[in-house]
Each structure stands twice: as structure tokens, then as C-alpha cells.
Amino acid sequence: MNTAEKFLRYVKVHSASVDRDDITPTSAVQFDLARLLEKEMRDMGMEKVVCDEHAYVYGYIPATKGYENRPSIGFIAHLDTIPDFSGENVNPQIVENYAGGDVKLGDSGRVLSPEKYPHLKELVGHTLITTDGSTVLGADDKAGVAAIMAACEKIIKEEIPHGRIAVCFTPDEEVGHGAALLDIEAFGADFAYTVDGGELNEVNCETFNAAAAEWEIKGLSVHPGDAKNTMINASLVAMEINSMLPAGDIPAHTEGYEGFYHLTDMQGDVEQAKLSYIVRDHDGAKLEMRKDTLRHIEELINEKYGAGTAKLSLRDQYRNMFEKVNERPEIIELAEKALRALGMEPERKPIRGGTDGAQLSFRGLLCPNLGTGGYAGHGPYEHTTVENLDTAAKLVLEIIQLNCMG
């Protein structure tokens, strides 16, 4: 089974996580893909394969005789898809020998267009894999899962020399919990790579510093006819809080190393309201300044409307992994050497988000990210190509082989 065949098999399995933090996995459906992978890993000949009680799937390939002293490399991908847009009943469309131009996404009324996605011009001649417009595709990150599985299968079947290889597929990455329960000691890798999205030539060793901000606003409801100087409309206070943030510091107006405040959810009426934000910046000091801005707004609102009107809760989520990964530049250089061997010029690019690798790097397992050649994740326009999936698998394989050369 080639990489694309594996991918198409995996995306058919509903495995969306749920936005909660009191249980792992956050959804029972993640076990469906976890157990499928567990069986496939055993069938291909991996050792010590286990799907644990939290839907983490582990498997290992012992070093070839004579290569036991080479570093043990880990490869990690997540098996969940986003909770915010359907990953159920995925019906991929295959467009062979893409000729360019618009691609109609089933009967959804949506169109995948080079006008909105200019990179499509570079995919002419590829075999496109798209959604039918009603679900995500699941390339984030089942493309990474397929790439790792295809590379491992080739290593075993063709008896390609290698050092020890450790594999883990994690749940709940999309809701920020994917690395929390990974057993690093049992995993036993000297370093690892997540294989999780981005351009194929990217090596990601920088992430955002990340925090979550939750606002609870209490209003005072009275009859509108008698409301003057008395009513406090919680929904209007929530709008006022948002208006006090820099209007340009939102995802739609930022790129590269620019941080943002992202309003992800709001609800309310006159008596109470809630706002949820994620706050991001690659610079740790700047993230602290953003958090201080939110605290200052809380003070101003409570001075204006009375103590207890607004309650801000801040929670740190993850930190920029560069400060850890940069301690061992040879890990990044190995991936870059592999990319060059495959005819690509590597590009170090910051992730405008986070990966399991960010948390793992701070837990002691240094873990940059490799691209998979997936595009437009987290929505109905998500797509990839058969060729990109094959190249992602070749990249994993090339890293394994180069590791044997010392």
C-alpha cells in the first residue's frame, strides 16, 4: 500500500477531537484510528506496538545490526482532526493530472481556486486530493501519519539499514493536549520530528508563545425604561473590551513573526457575557506585554463599571520551542540535508501556531517539525497531492538513512 492509499484509508476514519480538557482522549472516536494503526504497525513487523488507555499509539523498529550506536530517532504525528469543522463522512475527490484552474468541490457550492490559493499553479500535473466541500480532508495530520507509516513499512520490507526508530501517534493535538501524556522515557528517542503540515521544504523550529484568555462579564439588568445610569449591559461591555485591543493585531492582518489577539468565541446577554481569546507572539517578552494589556483592560473596566464587572483568566499554553531546539542545531541540519538530497532547498520558517513538538521540546525531547505538503487545513478547502504525500514519506526515509552515515 503506497502513501496515498494509506492516507485515503485514514481520512475515512472519523477522529475529531473535542474542545475540552478534562479527559484524554477528548473523543472516543480517536480510538478507532488508533486501533487501526496499532494493527497495521503490528502487521508490518514493528515491535512493542501498543495503543494505551489514552489513545497514544507506540511502535518501534530496532536498529539494524551494526547501527545500534546511532542516535534513536522518533517520528510523531497526530491522529485527531479539528473539532470546529466536520471530519466525519470524509469523501475525498481525486483530480488526476490537474490542469490548473478551478476545482468544484462536490455539490457544496465551494470552489478551490488559484485566485484564492495561488500555489495551485505549482501543482499543475499533480494528482490533487481535495474534499467534497462538506468536511475537512484530514491532511492535518493524517498526511503525516501516512508518511511515517509508509516509510517504516519500506524500511522493514526492504531491510534498509537504520538506527533505532520510535514512532508515536498522538490524540488531541488540535486542542492542545497531544504531547501531555506521551511517555518520553519509554519512547526512548534521542530526538524526534513531528511530521505535521506545512510546505515540504520547510523545517519548523520556531512556534508561537501561546496563552488563552477568558473573560467573564457581569451586567446589571433593569427595565430599559428605568435604565439610565443603572443598567450595565454585559454584552456591550464585552464589545467595549474587544474595542480596546489593537484592531490590526488579529490573524487576518498579521503574518510572519507578527503576533495577535484572536477572538475565538463570544456569547452573552444583558446580565452576563463571555469572551474567549487565544493570544500569540513568537517573542516571549511581547507575549507578556500582550497579557499585561489584557490585565490593564480588566482594571479599566472595573474602575468604570464597578469591581467584579469583568474577570480575566489567563492560561499559558505553550512556548516557542526555538530556545530549546536551537541547543542542538545538528537536528535541524539533518532534516535540511535530507531535503537537499531530495532536490529541495530547505527553508526555516516559523510556525504561526504550535505543534506537539513545542511541548515535547520543553519536556526534554527536542522535536522540530517537518512539512507534509498539505494546504488550507482546518476547513473545507483543505487539499494535498499524491506526489506530496510520497515526498513526505521519502523525507522521513532519507532522514533515517542519513542518520546511519554518521
Q: Which three cell numbers stand for residue 310?
A: 469583568
Q: Return the pLDDT at 1.
A: 59
> Which is the catalytic residue, given 40, 172, 173, 382?
173
pLDDT tens across 170-193, in order? 999 998 888 899 999 999 999 999
313 bridge partner residues: 214
- Is-catalytic flag, 347? no
Task: From 392, 352, 351, 359, select the one nearest 373 (Cα to Cα).
Answer: 392
Distinct helix (H) and strand (E) counts, the chain:
10, 17
Q: Which three cell numbers stand for residue 183?
A: 511517555
Is the model's pLDDT at 406 over the cut of 70?
Answer: no
CA 127/CA 108 separation, integer angstroms? 21
Task: From 181, 172, 134, 141, select the one nearest 30 (Cα to Cα).
Answer: 172
| Alpha-carbon distances of 358 from 132, 148, 195, 279, 335, rounded to whole Å | 33, 19, 13, 16, 17
Place of cell 493536549: 177
> Which is the catalytic residue, given 38, 80, 206, 398?
80
Task: Map 142-195 to HEC letters.
Answer: HHHHHHHHHHHHHHHHCCCCCCCEEEEEECCHHHCCCCCCCCHHHHCCCEEEEE
- Residues 197 and 141: beta-carbon distance below 8 Å: yes
Where are the CATH 3.30.70.360 domain residues in the chain?
210-318
CA 78/CA 387 separation, integer angstroms? 21
Q: Which three cell numbers stand for residue 245?
A: 485591543
The CATH class of the 210-318 domain is alpha beta
The residues near 291 (Cβ < 8 Å, ≥ 6 apart) are 211, 213, 279, 314
Where are the CATH 3.40.630.10 domain residues in the chain?
3-206+320-403
Q: 3-state DSSP call for residue 256?
A: coil
pLDDT tens across 47-98, in order? 999 999 999 999 999 999 999 999 999 999 999 999 978 889 999 999 999 9
Q: What is the mean pLDDT of residues 109-136?
A: 96
Q: Return the pLDDT at 259.
A: 97
Place of cell 464587572: 309
Q: Which three cell numbers stand for residue 230?
A: 443603572
Place of cell 537504520: 162
Is the model's pLDDT at 208 over the cut of 70?
Answer: yes
Region of poorest pLDDT, from 43-57, 276-290, 311-325: 311-325
Q: Which three cell numbers stand for residue 403?
A: 542518520
Burial class (CB in 10 A: 0-12, 13-18, 19+), 254: middle
Share the mean pLDDT of the chain: 95
The residues near 115 (Cβ < 8 Å, ≥ 6 apart) are none
* Enclosing H/E stretch for 285: helix 284-305
CA 121/CA 238 separation, integer angstroms? 43
- Cα of first residue to Cα of last residue in the chain, in angstroms, is 31
Q: What is the mean pLDDT of residues 219-248?
A: 96
What pTM value is reported for the model? 0.89
Place of cell 503576533: 259
Place of cell 506545512: 198
pLDDT tens across 339-386, in order? 999 999 999 988 888 788 988 999 999 999 999 999 999 999 999 999
Q: 3-state DSSP call for residue 330?
A: helix
- Is-catalytic flag, 333? no
- Residues 375 and 383: beta-carbon distance below 8 Å: yes
CA 275/CA 55 separation, integer angstroms? 31
- Of 121-125, 174-178, 222-226, where does the model show the most confidence? 121-125
The CATH class of the 3-206+320-403 domain is alpha beta
pLDDT > 70 in the chain, percent: 100
Q: What is the mean pLDDT of residues 217-222?
A: 96
Q: Return the pLDDT at 47.
A: 97
Q: What is the mean pLDDT of residues 206-213?
A: 93
Q: How many CB atoms lie within 10 A of CB 82?
A: 20
Q: How many residues does the chain have?
A: 406
| Alpha-carbon distances of 264 from 57, 149, 267, 345, rounded to whole Å | 31, 34, 11, 36
CA 337/CA 49 separation, integer angstroms? 30
